[in-house]
Amino acid sequence: AQSVTQPDIHITVSEGASLELRCNYSYGATPYLFWYVQSPGQGLQLLLKYFSGDTLVQGIKGFEAEFKRSQSSFNLRKPSVHWSDAAEYFCAVGARGNTDKLIFGTGTRLQVFP
Amino acid sequence: EAQVTQNPRYLITVTGKKLTVTCSQNMNHEYMSWYRQDPGLGLRQIYYSMNVEATDKGDVPEGYKVSRKEKRNFPLILESPSPNQTSLYFCASSWGGRTDTQYFGPGTRLTVL
């Protein structure tokens, strides 16, 4: 069965600084990988996803993520954080095959200081 | 406007009193799903549906029921709520399942006393 770990519960950065949020997964093959963002009081919104092909994936709001098979990781990055990026970020893993389960990580809360 | 709506947004109830949380989407999506979000546990899938009259269990289905009689609606039913079902619930929909972009509703915060 697949699983996903987000090691950082809470991260604080200054506005304009770079950001990297970590995501590690466990799965026997290459899974489907996603990053979602949840703004306060809102539902989740998809930032980006990886299925196959180019391991560097571009998403919305200036985010990108890189799939590294050797490290079982799918870290989310942004070169310059804006105050509006303060939110909770979830990595999710979907198994390939005929099941439709999607496993979410426990989330990383991002705080941005001016 | 394309959206997923949930009602109610907030609900406080007592143990054993049956309740239904409604979910409706206006995007003609085939796939709908329910999640619960708990601190430190992230989102966990309760049930999902690939199409009308087709529902399947997610990771935490105990104590919940769902139905999919129409494509647009996917209600979550708690026949006999218990305090451990106090949580934040999200409904989501997509065109073709988990691998497609899922659109989430605003959430329903449920408290069971």
Reply yes or no on whether the pLDDT at A8 is more than 90: yes
Burial of A79 (0-12, 13-18, 19+ CB in 10 A): exposed
Token pair recorded at residue A13: 């950065």
Return mean pLDDT, chain B: 94
Reply yes or no on whether the pLDDT at A95 is more than 80: no
Q: How far is B35 from chain A (nearest CA, A)?
A: 10
Q: Is B105 on the interface with A (CB under 8 A)?
A: yes
Nearest CB neighbour to B42, from listed A94, A100, A107: A107
Token pair recorded at residue A89: 């970020």
Sheet with strand B76-78: strands edge to edge: B4-7, B19-25, B76-78, B65-66
Cα–Cα distances in angstroms (integers) from residue A55 to residues A33, A58, A65, A69, A80, in the given order = 11, 10, 8, 9, 21
Mean pLDDT within B53-80: 96
pLDDT band with cut points at 50, 70 and 90 for residue A94: confident
The closest alpha carbon to A63, from A81, A88, A44, belongs to A81
Structure-token match 């079982």, residue found: A72
pLDDT in tens, A12-68: 999 999 999 999 998 877 789 999 999 988 889 999 999 888 999 999 999 999 999
Residues of A in contact with B41 (CB under 8 A): 106
pLDDT band with cut points at 50, 70 and 90 for residue B60: very high
A46 and B101: CB-CB below 8 Å?
A: yes
Q: Would you state the pLDDT for residue A97?
A: 67
Structure-token match 């893993």, residue found: A93
Q: Is residue A90 classed as helix, strand or coil in its secondary structure?
A: strand
Q: Is A55 on the interface with B (CB under 8 A)?
A: no
Nearest CB neighbour to A106, from listed B33, B41, B58: B41
Reply yes or no on whether the pLDDT at B59 is more than 80: yes
pLDDT band with cut points at 50, 70 and 90 for residue B20: very high
Reply yes or no on whether the pLDDT at B97 is more than 90: no
Q: Would you state the pLDDT for residue B40?
A: 86
Contact yes or no for A72/A65 (Cβ under 8 A)? no
Q: Would you state the pLDDT for residue A103?
A: 86
Q: Would you state the pLDDT for residue A3?
A: 85
Q: Is A97 on the interface with B (CB under 8 A)?
A: no
* DSSP annotation of B53: T
pLDDT band with cut points at 50, 70 and 90 for residue A98: low
Q: How far is A61 from chain B (nearest CA, A)?
A: 16
pLDDT in tens, A78-87: 999 999 999 9
Structure-token match 């899974």, residue found: A31
Strands A108-113 and A10-14: parallel
Q: What is the DSSP string of A5-61?
A: E---SEEEEETT--EEE--EEE-SS--EEEEEEE-TTS-EEEEEEE-SS-SEEE-GG
Lowest mean pLDDT among A8-17, A23-32, B46-55, B64-73: A23-32
B42 and A43: CB-CB below 8 Å?
A: no
